[in-house]
Amino acid sequence: MRDAFRRAEVAEDVGQWIDDPVWTPDGKFLIGSNAMCVDAETRAVVWHKPASIAAPSPDGRRVAAVADDGLSFLDSVTGRPQGGPLLLDKPCALRWAAGRRDRLAVLTARSDTAEPAVHIFDAGEHVGSATIPHPQWQDGERWSGDRNAWVWAPDGEGAAVLTDADTVEVWSFADPARAERLRTFPADGICAVLWGADDTLVLVGGRRIRFVRAETGATAGDFNLLLTPDEPRPVEGFEAYEFERQVFALDEDTWAMTLDPDIVIAPSDRVDELDSVLTWAVERRHAWPVRWGDLRVLPDVLAAADVLPPEVGDVLRECAP
């Protein structure tokens, strides 16, 4: 393997050796989930420890790595051991706390002797554990998408975890030796939990995003995405491709469509719902209305064709379902 690395050091495709690389904060190195460090300028492999999963700390000083001999803490630049190896039953995920220096959660899967659990480490020292029935997802598993069962609160003293009972649990690790489950609420089939601003949990599913208050479990927002109503779209046929980006689902049963400059094809009794859908995203966070004046809401493209310029109206008539 050393000979292979030496060849890789001068190769253009050294990226094939490193899995899921992330930058160190200074931008000088890439750390892979297979416990490999690559010099970003020379593309040389700086160090490597055979490991099933690995994760660099937020400050870039350490790398937590799980290998056959257990959990180890490594210097991110040299790869030299700073702690461990520590034996744990079936570690499957590593999660550093961004808001608390050197705090790591190690999620372990069910074994012959233990239930699924999380183990907390501060500065490489084990400070507490809690039995939590998380889904036992393995970090780095292919085709797993954005799934994430564990997220730290910004201060590193609380966390939210998705369970295999399709619930989300909020925990306090202010005293990791006496971890406390604070509340539980339904997950409703989500595959990832994230912790956003103002203690808002973001629960992500395949076609749904929910925003839930961590302190109360109250729903602040609930959005269904990629809906495909069974009814015909407002435009059909070969020429309809011109309007593909303008067709959207108003709900799981109803298609709608925008037309320049101020026309929307939608049921007349749904006018009040359009502003919650027809918005621009500003800085990926804020919703801004797409209009300042009134919308003209029309029942179908034939009605729109009568009021739009002939070059647009004629195409719409050809696309009418």
The whole domain housing 51 covers: 1-87
Q: Is residue 255 part of a domain?
A: yes
Q: What residues pair up with 213 in beta bridges, in sequence order?
A: 200
Q: How many CA atoms lie within 13 A of 262 on its CB side?
A: 6
Is the peptide bond prior to 85 cis by the omega test (within 30 degrees of 0)?
yes
CATH code for the domain of 56: 2.40.10.480
Strand arrangement of the beta sheet that strand 29-31 belongs to: 22-23, 29-31, 36-39, 45-48
Highest mean pLDDT: which of 158-162, 278-282, 309-313? 158-162
Residues 77 and 192 in one domain: no
Residues 281 and 249 in one domain: yes
Domain count, the chain: 3
Residues 126 and 209 in one domain: yes
> What tokens does 64 get?
């937590």
Instruction: Say if residues 160 and 149 touch (Cβ distance below 8 Å).
Output: no
Q: Is residue 306 part of a domain?
A: yes
Instruction: Say if residues 162 and 95 touch (Cβ distance below 8 Å).
Output: no
| Residue at a domain's end among 87, 113, 145 | 87
pTM comes to 0.77
Residues 140 and 219 in one domain: yes
Q: Are strands 263-265 and 296-298 parallel, antiparallel or unpaired?
A: parallel
pLDDT digits (tens, 9 = 90+) for 137-149: 999 887 677 899 9
pLDDT value, residue 10: 46
pLDDT value, residue 275: 75
Average confidence score pLDDT of the chain? 89
Interatomic CA distance for residues 298 and 306, integer angstroms: 11
> What tokens does 187 get?
């997950």
pLDDT digits (tens, 9 = 90+) for 206-241: 888 999 999 999 998 888 888 889 999 999 998 888
Q: How sure is the predictor about 284, in pLDDT bands with cuts at 50, 70 and 90?
A: low
pLDDT value, residue 14: 56
Residues 95 and 222 in one domain: yes
Residues 97 and 221 in one domain: yes
